[in-house]
Amino acid sequence: MTAKPDSAAPAPLPPDLQALDAFWRAANYLAGAMIYLQDNPLLRQPLAPEHLKQRPLGHWGASPGLAFAYAHLTRLIRRHDLEAIFLAGPGHGAPGVLGPAWLEGSLGEHNPERGWGLTGLTRFCRDFSFPGGLGSHCTPEVPGSIHEGGELGYSLSHAFGAAFDNPQLLVTVMVGDGEAETGPLATAWHSNKFLNPARDGAVLPILHLNGYKIANPTILARIPQEELLALFTGYGWAPKIVEGHEPATMHQAMAAAMDECLAEICAIQAAARNTEALVQRPRWPMIVLISPKGWTGPKAADGHAVEGTWRAHQVPLADPRNNAENRRLLEAWLQSYRPDTLFTEDGQPAALIRDFAPQGSRRLGANPHANGGLLRRPLERPDWRAQAVGFDAPGQRRHSNTDPLGHYLAELVRRNPDNFRLFGPDETASNKLGAIYAATAKAWLGESRPEDEDGGHLAADGRVMEMLSEHTLEGWLEGYLLSGRHGLLSTYEAFAHVIDSMFNQHAKWLEMCREVPWRAPVSALNLLITSTVWRQDHNGFTHQDPGFLDLVVNKSPAVTRIYLPPDANCLLAVADRCLADTNVINVIVADKQAHLQYLDAEAAALHCERGIGLWDWASTDDEAGTEPEIVLASCGDVATQEALAAAELLYCHFPDLKLRFVNVVDLFKLTPAEEHPHGLSDRDWTGLFTADRPIVFNFHGYPWLIHRLAYRRPNHVNLHVRGYKERGSICTPLELAMDNQIDRYSLAMDVIDRVPRLAVAGAHIRQALQEKQQQCRAHAHAHGVDPEEINTWTWSGQP
């Protein structure tokens, strides 16, 4: 469907559209007032320099279109008593959402000082993009928002995440045409292949083509319409174009398009929900809204056209405080909305506007799905001990660390059939989580073939979300969590960097939510980082990067957690804990391959609760009154295995060595307690690591991260960290470890060098260890694998 309403003279608006138009004009007025005014918010006095902000900030260009969509969705809610939320994709689009939220009263309910009335309205206008006030994005302070838009590209995936498992919810999302040029947004259009009309809600995208970014035309606004329609038809959508600039006819065309879209959505859902037949992938409707940049704003200024050009993007009239002509243009522009008809004398919305807005939680700014913690139900978590790996003694049995987690997740899905989803980029089976398929399928509404079953069952109601786009998966997960549900995303370690900036944005969102008292806590964002650096010997250098942890440490300690469980039972204990968390991001690093198992269920539970601890069974300093000569510490599964193997070598050659073995699960235990809520006190740190003895620390990631966390700790001068140092290629696991000096031989030599009485006495052993490294490397290059004694090594149990 294509509507070009400006081709005919405007017809009189019906009453509901008259109220809608008043609401929209009031929202546009407020958007302009927010950008410029710090006083005289309704222009009851002639506009004077002192009424204007000294530094006007904000983005006008996309705001009228956003308010237009918000108003039309509001009409749809009133007309059909809909459950709906609205996501604003254009980055600096807050004026186009804040204005409607103020008009419907939802903003004032949470911020009475910025609510209805002249005092509240003055404060509301002044506080926009003002120190200590409201930001230019749809930040957590904006009621009804689950999408900040600080980085472009994620609005559509967030919308789908909110729609999953919300069968009555309509999520309308405005996608900016600049945003539509990003990679994440391009992949997110394919989300329609995963939306199940029988059990999910609906997503109605409105692609807003206003023609310009900051200073350049947008791609989709400059291609022929037949090409545009073909693009979205090819994506699987049924696009409808609404184009023009004359408000009355645009209202009529948009209302008709919205009505038609809702009718199609209801028909799709009814067909899927009222039949026993297999759910087929529908062609969902979408709207392409084509309107001028800065619509209804200043037509020209300073000798240049403004409306419909890139000059309308931000502040359309420069420095009206000091430029009298632009001040005159600003006053004329704002008065063109007829504010005297839109607001009462005492600064409230006029009755027509108040009556237009829905009541209570039906308002877009008050819907609980956009404050998902209000709807969050805690997961019914099974006892993870039922999946624990059994063994006779520490370090004797090998088992995949992630496989038991897959069994745990299967039981979790059985107990929470509409409240939890697993996300991953085609790696669920690869990451040894395939046991979940006993409880659920992969979500899939596309064509299926018999041979597909070899890779896991596909079904429209599957709970496993797989798509080869980490951006889309992360966006789905964030939208799912922010609307009140639970989830986990697993991905390969080297490619977690694909979502670096998305992690940043979500961490900032959670941090800001801590300062917004009406935001209810949402479920933790849980990331399982697997296929780790030390088992990427076969894939080579490009797949070897543990640096995602360094990024996590950059964010606020209030919202970040990092866990590196050494074995399967510790992974189960950590994952169970993380799935109960709220308002944090949990990063769990655990390799998928078979590893030695060290702690039974109860020992793992205690160790993970502490986050760090001595392993008595691997230490030799446990005699009363004895201090260790050295502390050997580990963090990470492969790092722990190699550290234990080094300890065993040392015990064989130096039976009287007093060595303390410490394992770290919770990385933030290394930080001081005053810097992170999980941090150890200096007293506890010294109790573990001593006041003056050397520490050799074998770490999973980049070694300098440990120094960064512990640089203020007592005895830091004696802390020596081994970790990944950007040395790797196609090699064997032991070769990769040796290249980065985290292998058992390098660690044993490190201990010899740092224990004073061994520095000379251990020279013969040190040389033998060097020769052993050479032999292992030669064996790898001759046979393509590490020596059998390395591959089958187990802890002897004789420290």
Is residue 4 over pLDDT 60?
no
Determine the average pLDDT of the residues in 167-175: 98
Report for 267-281, 522-536, 612-626: range of highest mean pLDDT: 522-536
The pLDDT tens digits of the residues spanning 631-646 come to: 999 999 999 999 999 9
The 10s digit of each residue's pLDDT in 260-289 is: 999 999 999 999 999 877 788 999 999 999
pLDDT per position as a tens digit, 638-690: 999 999 999 999 999 999 999 999 999 999 999 999 999 999 999 999 999 99
User: What is the amino acid identity at position 797?
Assistant: G
pLDDT of residue 725 exceeding 70, the answer is yes
Residue 748's pLDDT is: 98
Return the minimum-mean-pLDDT range out of 30-39, 527-536, 765-774, 786-795: 527-536
Amino acid at 325: E
The secondary structure of residue 370, as a DSSP letter, is G
Q: What is the mean pLDDT of residues 728-756?
A: 96
Contact between 557 and 668 under an 8 Å Cβ cutoff? The reply is: yes
Q: What's the whole-number mean pLDDT along residues 74-91?
A: 95
On whether the CB atoms of residues 75 and 111 are closer than 8 A, the answer is no
With a pLDDT cut of 70, the percent of the chain lying above it is 98
Give the chain's domains with CATH numbers: 2-8+16-359 (3.40.50.970), 384-595 (3.40.50.970), 611-791 (3.40.50.920)
The distance from CA 449 to its chain's CA centroid, rounded to whole angstroms, is 33
- pLDDT at residue 453 tops 80: no
Mean pLDDT, rounded, for 366-393: 97
Which pLDDT score is estimated for 5?
52
Q: Kindly report each contact of residues 652-657 with a partner whose C-beta sits within 8 Å and lies 24 or more positions away, as own/partner.
A: 653/762, 653/765, 654/758, 654/762, 654/765, 657/620, 657/629, 657/630, 657/751, 657/755, 657/758
Does the pLDDT of residue 456 top 80, yes or no? no
**Given pLDDT bands bounded at 50, 70 and 90, which one contains residue 451?**
confident
Q: What is the pTM of this model?
A: 0.96
Query: Is residue 145 scored above 80 in pLDDT?
Result: yes
pLDDT tens digits, residue range 195-217? 999 999 999 999 999 999 999 99
* Chain mean pLDDT for the chain: 95
pLDDT in tens, 538-586: 788 888 899 999 999 999 999 999 999 999 999 999 999 999 999 999 9
Low-confidence winner among 142-151, 185-194, 457-466, 623-632 (lowest mean pLDDT): 623-632
Confidence of residue 219 (pLDDT cuts 50, 70, 90): very high
| CA dist., res. 94 & res. 31, Å (int) | 9
Tell me what pLDDT residue 626 has: 84
Cα–Cα distance, 768 to 763 (Å, whole number):
9
Q: How far apart are alpha carbons 463 and 194 in whole angstroms? A: 10
Residue 1 has pLDDT above 60, yes or no: no
**DSSP annotation of 212:** B
If we measure between CA atoms, which residue out of 593, 587, 596 comes closest to residue 569? 596
Residue 484 structure tokens: 């009140």
